[in-house]
Chains A and B, each alone.
Chain A
Amino acid sequence: DIVLTQSPALAVSLGQRATISCRASQSVIISRYNLIHWYQQKPGQQPKLLIYRASNLASGIPARFSGSGSGTDFTLTINPVQADDIATYYCQQSRESPWTFGGGTKLELK
């Protein structure tokens, strides 16, 4: 199984940049597509897709969210962080079954 590793928490100040990382245990590339996706989940809510295939903004997601990376190392950047962005963020791979999620990074205010 592909294991995705995320730091458990990240503390940021409002208006600053947040960088959340996700490392895969093996490459998640198929046909030059990086099959990593990012989600935001707030307490009591379902996850919301933010970024698909590493760097593509999902529909309706603000441009302050961006994704980058290739192969095994990926980053979700939020710039600038707003109060509404306080949530837990998950990466997920769809390179191969079983589709796995990272453990989540809880974004907290400094």
Chain B
Amino acid sequence: EVQLVESGEGLVQPGSSMKLSCVASGFTFSNYGMNWIRQAPKKGLEWIALIYYDSSSKYYADSVKGRFTISRDNSKNTLYLEMNSLRSEDTAMYYCATYNWEGWGQGVMVTVSS
């Protein structure tokens, strides 16, 4: 069974940085691309980043391009999202999900506020 467990949630000030992790199990992590998706409070879903299985390609939503970096460590079955220059509008629940969208983590809350 696919399991994805995110960590790194917290409250940060505008302009600061934060790094989220997503540990995968139950499937061959190194064979699959992975996504990050976020959901602002009481709002819909927004895809923000995708990384290929071998890190050869990465894609970002315009809303985070240049500020967020997706990466992975296949030896640790772990996906990362490094977030810089955080803004209040980045406040959201952040989910990791498999490339085929079948597996989703439980999500972690990121709050950007002074």
Point out residues on A near B: beta carbons under 8 Å.
37, 39, 41, 46-49, 52, 58-59, 90, 92, 94, 97-104
Point out residues on B near A: beta carbons under 8 Å.
35, 44-47, 50, 59, 61-62, 95, 100-102, 104-107
Q: Are B102 and A101 in contact (CB under 8 A)?
A: no
Other A-B pairs beyond A47-B104, A100-B47, 17, CB < 8 Å = A46-B95, A46-B107, A47-B45, A47-B95, A52-B101, A59-B102, A90-B44, A92-B45, A92-B47, A94-B101, A97-B59, A98-B62, A101-B44, A101-B46, A102-B44, A103-B44, A104-B44
Q: Are A98 and B104 in contact (CB under 8 A)?
A: no
- Complex A-B, nearest 8 residue pairs according to Cβ-Cβ distance, in ascending order: A46-B104, A101-B45, A99-B47, A97-B59, A98-B61, A104-B44, A103-B44, A49-B101
Q: Which residues of A contact B106 (CB under 8 A)?
A: 46
- When chains A and B are docked, how far (Å) is the Cα of A37 from the Cα of B47? 14
Q: Which residues of B contact A59 (CB under 8 A)?
A: 102
- When chains A and B are docked, how far (Å) is the Cα of A52 from the Cα of B103? 13
List 18 A–B pairs whose Cβ atoms lie within 8 Å, in order of A's numbering: A37-B101, A39-B45, A41-B45, A46-B104, A46-B105, A47-B45, A49-B102, A49-B104, A52-B101, A92-B47, A92-B101, A94-B101, A97-B50, A98-B59, A99-B35, A101-B44, A101-B47, A104-B45
Q: In the complex, how many angstroms separate the beta carbon of A82 from the nearest chain B beta carbon?
A: 22
- When chains A and B are docked, how far (Å) is the Cα of A97 from the Cα of B33? 14
Q: Are A98 and B101 in contact (CB under 8 A)?
A: no
Q: Which residues of B contact A98 (CB under 8 A)?
A: 47, 59, 61-62
- When chains A and B are docked, how far (Å) is the Cα of A58 from the Cα of B35? 18
Q: In the complex, how many angstroms separate the beta carbon of B18 from the nearest chain A beta carbon?
A: 20
